[in-house]
Chains A and B, each alone.
Chain A
Amino acid sequence: MSTATAHDTHHEHHPGGLLRWVFTTNHKDIGTLYLIFSLVMLFIGGAMAMVIRAELYQPGLQFVDPQFFNSMTTMHALIMVFGAIMPAFVGLANWLIPMMIGAPDMALPRMNNWSFWILPFAGLMLVSTLFMEGGAPAGGWTMYPPLVLQTGDAFPFLIFSVHLLGISSIMGAINIIVTIVNMRAPGMTLMKMPLFVWTWLITAYLLIAVMPVLAGAVTMLLTDRFFGTSFFSAAGGGDPVMFQHIFWFFGHPEVYIMILPAFGVVSQIIPTFARKRLFGYSSMVYATASIAFLSFIVWAHHMFTVGMPLTGELFFMYATMLIAVPTGVKVFNWVSTMWKGAMTFETPMLFALGFVVMFTIGGFSGLMLAITPIDFQYHDTYFVVAHFHYVLVTGSLFSLFAAAYYWLPKWTGNMYDEKLGKLHFWLSTIFVNILFFPQHFLGLAGMPRRIPDYSVQFAEFNQISSLGGFAFGLTQLLFVYIIWKTVRGGAKATDRVWEGAEGLEWTLSSPPPYHSFETAPEVK
């Protein structure tokens, strides 16, 4: 496919200006929209994190009142989970899956547009709660009753924005599954699919299975508050703990929804820069499927201290520890892929390696938290905060950075600035560890999460953590600058971009034509 024909189709169809982006049904346009949206939300959520770290810089109350502090932790989580990480991976899926499987576009292009264009409205509704009477939701992103029922005017809008985000996710996931099962080029059998496609297939299944459950759970909150039901009220025979069960039935698969595509990204990048085929491809597929299966039977490890029967505690402890097996398979395979490889360390590879090391740290602290009696000590402390930020920031977010650097030359046709990219990696890696590693110690020493004040003995580690946080936040401005610079120009990228890159997307021009594979390629 030549660039010349590509440009013809490019100019033929889409309307110019802003409306192009509003009406578009093109998977690349929609992928770009998702990625830009998630970047904006990353900075909104990040600004809230800065407020949290500023308040925690010293013991005592400095800048914000406790209610607003709790709004910040709640909104930071909701925005990062539903606004930044999830849409970013859907953006990658949109850009890459059709190009990786040799399809002309996503299977259901109009619905694809709708999946995206619900998001800004949902985001707007969620952020607007900051300005409502009674303030933004402050009961934590997990929305536990009865506390969340005390939210002010923001309450119904919290529920409805979750509904909207859910609708968007479900439609996006349906589209991805249908694309993968129905749009593969001839010869692209399931076990020849790139691992990113595999991980997204399984992630999309998880999304369709659990987002409706979240919708059900928050609907029950809504009716408990406004229509007199008593799902979560013991007075009427219900149980607030029941919400936790339903929420985490969604919530644990949700955690894997945010990490499985990251596994896929890293499994694409490491073989490229090790110049070796991925070690244990089929075991990677089976491990991903096992993790997805296990994700449905471990939810109550989030609620060990809530007062469950002993058999429940034991079952959920053992089931949770089982997850270490398929995850271990993955880490082993990544390391084995690099074994005796001809390695180079461009920015995407650095972020991928950072992912492998630091995600594994998060995995180990997760294993500690899985042990019920030990969790009794750690529950709701900063140890938990450190744990999930290692898997979500140095895990999911680092894989997104890796993906951005890896595919940006393909998307834009321009190479990014390698020096700045490496600087971004090293600054991020150093500061993120200064930010989150001390939080392990704080948690082990007993500092509770979601409290704006703390005992003086926690002051030093909090100060270190805050400084790391400010620096990490500032560093991300560098990322925006690098992207901006790459989009504007730079050294021309070749079609293959990376010497060791394999896969259909690298057979297209850089940037790829507006419609990738109008005639399906033959896969041998």
Chain B
Amino acid sequence: MTSTSGGYYVPHGSHWPIIGSIGLFVMLQGFGNYLNGDGIGGTIMLVGFLILLVMVFGWFRVVINESEAGTYNTQVDRSFRWGMSWFIFSEVMFFAAFFGALYYARVFSVPWLGGADPGTNEVLWSGFEAAWPTNGPAQLGGEFNLLDPWKIPALNTLLLLSSGVTITLAHWALKKGNRGALVMWMLATIALGATFLGFQVYEYQEAYSSHYNLTLESGIYGSTFFMLTGFHGMHVTLGTIMLIVITLRCMKGHFTADRHFAFEAVAWYWHFVDVVWLGLFIFVYLL
């Protein structure tokens, strides 16, 4: 089923993409029905997700086996590098939409509602005074308290920044051919990522407790806070899973000192997640 074309590996046929499409379709079809209040929707969604998981396992298995068999030349390696870079760029733009919403609310819509645009204020919500954070003129979700950025969020910043260091140390160890140090630093990176996630879950529980009463329904502040940190948390989760897979591959003896694209791709992704967090820490928590 395989042949090389001028050295560039061109696979011939694959059944994984169509399985992925079916998985995506079933999952979203189920999710849609679930949102519309159809009882069976949740189950269908789960089935779709499982199909998608099978696809991810199967597809990556094929690619990893091909990679280990030496099927990919340096040109294929470059394709993967470009592909991953542009994928991360697309992720950056996804977050940009939510950061954009945050800036727009803070710079335009909230001040306008509060009287910077007199007409809006008088006609819609006279008496509303602009402030940040806010749950809006209608006080959606009720009164809420803010989380202290210098407690868990600051600690989480430290954890993620440290994980950026440990994954770089792991990379250096891989380049030097020191497997023991490589696996150790990878495990440290995973531990830091997992601890971050644990703290994040803890912080969400705190926020939802009656003491803080900060929820997704808490107006524009709650919306931007939870959507930004939530999507970031999902990306950290995915990144941690990727780190675990790469660590297992390191333990199995995959990668060489000069050929380890998958390792680098995951490291790039991890740094991307790290940078997004810095943006979050500054614009969501601090300012």
Establish whether residues B113 and A234, one from each chain, have CB atoms under 8 Å apart when the complex forms.
yes
Main DSSP-derived SS at the B contact region: helix
A185 closest partner in B (C-beta) = B6
Q: How large is the interface on A (under 10, 10 to 19, 20 to 34, 35 or more residues)?
A: 35 or more
Q: How far is the CA of A263 from the CA of B226 in the complex (A)?
A: 43
When distances are taken between beta carbons in the complex, the residues of chain A under 8 Å from B17 are 110-111, 113-114, 117
Knowing A209-B89, A216-B94 touch, does A183 contact B222 (C-beta < 8 A)? no
Establish whether residues A519 and B8, one from each chain, have CB atoms under 8 Å apart when the complex forms.
no
Q: How far is the CA of A436 from the CA of B246 in the complex (A)?
A: 57
Establish whether residues A178 and B83, one from each chain, have CB atoms under 8 Å apart when the complex forms.
yes
Q: How far is the CA of A157 from the CA of B90 in the complex (A)?
A: 23
B residues 83-128 in Cβ contact with A at 8 Å:
83, 86-87, 89-91, 93-98, 100-101, 104-105, 108-110, 112-113, 124-125
A117 closest partner in B (C-beta) = B21
Establish whether residues A242 and B101, one from each chain, have CB atoms under 8 Å apart when the complex forms.
yes
Which of the candidate stretches A21-29, A284-292, A334-342, A483-491 sits at the interface with the other chain? Answer: A21-29
When distances are taken between beta carbons in the complex, the residues of chain B under 8 Å from A121 are 21-22, 24-25
When distances are taken between beta carbons in the complex, the residues of chain B under 8 Å from A14 are 12-13
When distances are taken between beta carbons in the complex, the residues of chain B under 8 Å from A23 are 13-15, 18
Across the interface, B140 reaches (CB within 8 A) one of A20, A175, A230, A518, namely A230
| Shortest CB distance B13–A (Å) | 4
| Shortest CB distance B33–A (Å) | 8
Which of the candidate stretches B143-151, B156-164, B213-221, B262-270 sits at the interface with the other chain? Answer: B213-221
B residues 240-264 in Cβ contact with A at 8 Å:
none
When distances are taken between beta carbons in the complex, the residues of chain A under 8 Å from B6 are 104, 517-520
A497 contacts partner chain B, Cβ-Cβ < 8 Å:
no
Which of the candidate stretches B130-138, B165-173, B274-282 sits at the interface with the other chain? Answer: B130-138
Q: How far is the CA of A118 from the CA of B124 in the complex (A)?
A: 44
Establish whether residues A237 and B86, one from each chain, have CB atoms under 8 Å apart when the complex forms.
no
When distances are taken between beta carbons in the complex, the residues of chain B under 8 Å from A22 are 15, 18
Establish whether residues A164 and B216, one from each chain, have CB atoms under 8 Å apart when the complex forms.
no
B29 contacts partner chain A, Cβ-Cβ < 8 Å:
yes
Establish whether residues A182 and B219, one from each chain, have CB atoms under 8 Å apart when the complex forms.
no
Knowing A13-B3, A246-B97 touch, does A109 contact B10 (C-beta < 8 A)? yes
B residues 198-230 in Cβ contact with A at 8 Å:
215-217, 219-224, 226-227
| Shortest CB distance A14–B (Å) | 6
User: Which of A113, A124, A153, A519 has the most B CB atoms < 10 Å from its CB?
Assistant: A113
Establish whether residues A236 and B220, one from each chain, have CB atoms under 8 Å apart when the complex forms.
yes
Establish whether residues A230 and B97, one from each chain, have CB atoms under 8 Å apart when the complex forms.
no
Establish whether residues A230 and B136, one from each chain, have CB atoms under 8 Å apart when the complex forms.
yes
A255 contacts partner chain B, Cβ-Cβ < 8 Å:
no
Establish whether residues A231 and B28, one from each chain, have CB atoms under 8 Å apart when the complex forms.
no
| Shortest CB distance B52–A (Å) | 12
Q: How far is the CA of A211 from the CA of B97 in the complex (A)?
A: 10
Across the interface, A160 reaches (CB within 8 A) one of B28, B100, B226, namely B28
Establish whether residues A230 and B223, one from each chain, have CB atoms under 8 Å apart when the complex forms.
yes
Q: How far is the CA of A153 from the CA of B34 in the complex (A)?
A: 11
Q: How far is the CA of A457 from the CA of B223 in the complex (A)?
A: 48
A3 contacts partner chain B, Cβ-Cβ < 8 Å:
no
When distances are taken between beta carbons in the complex, the residues of chain A under 8 Å from B79 are 107-108, 178, 182-183
Establish whether residues A25 and B12, one from each chain, have CB atoms under 8 Å apart when the complex forms.
yes
B176 contacts partner chain A, Cβ-Cβ < 8 Å:
no
B residues 21-61 in Cβ contact with A at 8 Å:
21-22, 24-25, 28-29, 31-32, 35-36, 59
Establish whether residues A118 and B21, one from each chain, have CB atoms under 8 Å apart when the complex forms.
yes
A residues 330-373 in Cβ contact with B at 8 Å:
none
A residues 232-280 in Cβ contact with B at 8 Å:
233-239, 241-242, 245-246, 249
Across the interface, B12 reaches (CB within 8 A) one of A13, A124, A163, A182, namely A13
Establish whether residues A236 and B29, one from each chain, have CB atoms under 8 Å apart when the complex forms.
no
Establish whether residues B10 and A104, one from each chain, have CB atoms under 8 Å apart when the complex forms.
yes
B178 contacts partner chain A, Cβ-Cβ < 8 Å:
no
Which of the candidate stretches A77-85, A220-228, A319-327 sits at the interface with the other chain? Answer: A220-228
Establish whether residues A160 and B12, one from each chain, have CB atoms under 8 Å apart when the complex forms.
no
B5 contacts partner chain A, Cβ-Cβ < 8 Å:
yes
B82 contacts partner chain A, Cβ-Cβ < 8 Å:
yes
A423 contacts partner chain B, Cβ-Cβ < 8 Å:
no
Across the interface, A242 reaches (CB within 8 A) one of B11, B89, B109, namely B109
Q: How far is the CA of A473 from the CA of B16 in the complex (A)?
A: 38
0 or 1 for each of A92-110: is its CB under 8 Å from B? (1 = yes):
0000000000011101111
A215 contacts partner chain B, Cβ-Cβ < 8 Å:
yes
When distances are taken between beta carbons in the complex, the residues of chain B under 8 Å from A108 are 79, 83
Q: How far is the CA of A217 from the CA of B101 in the complex (A)?
A: 9
A249 closest partner in B (C-beta) = B100
A177 contacts partner chain B, Cβ-Cβ < 8 Å:
yes
Knowing A23-B15, A108-B79, A210-B93 touch, does A183 contact B219 (C-beta < 8 A)? no
Across the interface, A227 reaches (CB within 8 A) one of B59, B105, B216, namely B216
Establish whether residues B14 and A110, one from each chain, have CB atoms under 8 Å apart when the complex forms.
yes
Q: How far is the CA of A230 from the CA of B197 in the complex (A)?
A: 26
When distances are taken between beta carbons in the complex, the residues of chain A under 8 Å from B215 are 228
Establish whether residues B11 and A25, one from each chain, have CB atoms under 8 Å apart when the complex forms.
yes
| Shortest CB distance B181–A (Å) | 33
When distances are taken between beta carbons in the complex, the residues of chain A under 8 Å from B87 are 170, 174
| Shortest CB distance A426–B (Å) | 41
A168 closest partner in B (C-beta) = B21
Q: How far is the CA of A113 from the CA of B16 in the complex (A)?
A: 9
B195 contacts partner chain A, Cβ-Cβ < 8 Å:
no
A213 contacts partner chain B, Cβ-Cβ < 8 Å:
yes
A142 contacts partner chain B, Cβ-Cβ < 8 Å:
no
Q: How far is the CA of A104 from the CA of B75 in the complex (A)?
A: 12
Knowing A157-B32, A212-B94, A216-B94 touch, does A235 contact B140 (C-beta < 8 A)? yes
Establish whether residues A182 and B78, one from each chain, have CB atoms under 8 Å apart when the complex forms.
yes
A125 contacts partner chain B, Cβ-Cβ < 8 Å:
yes
When distances are taken between beta carbons in the complex, the residues of chain B under 8 Å from A518 are 5-6
B193 contacts partner chain A, Cβ-Cβ < 8 Å:
no
A464 contacts partner chain B, Cβ-Cβ < 8 Å:
no
Q: How far is the CA of A388 from the CA of B25 in the complex (A)?
A: 32
Q: How far is the CA of A105 from the CA of B113 in the complex (A)?
A: 55
When distances are taken between beta carbons in the complex, the residues of chain A under 8 Å from B12 are 13-14, 25-26
A residues adjacent to B (C-beta < 8 A): 13-15, 20, 22-26, 103-105, 107-111, 113-114, 117-118, 120-121, 124-125, 153, 156-157, 160, 163-164, 167, 170, 173-175, 177-178, 181-183, 208-213, 215-217, 219-220, 222-223, 226-231, 233-239, 241-242, 245-246, 249, 515, 517-520
Task: Give 8 CB contacts A-B under 8 Å.
Answer: A104-B6, A107-B82, A111-B83, A117-B18, A121-B22, A167-B24, A174-B86, A229-B222
A-B contact sample (15 more), CB < 8 A, given A108-B83, A164-B28, A170-B87: A23-B14, A24-B13, A109-B10, A177-B86, A220-B227, A228-B217, A229-B226, A229-B227, A230-B220, A234-B137, A236-B140, A237-B110, A237-B136, A237-B221, A238-B101
Nearest 7 A/B pairs, CB to CB:
A216-B97, A237-B136, A104-B5, A239-B109, A114-B17, A237-B220, A236-B219
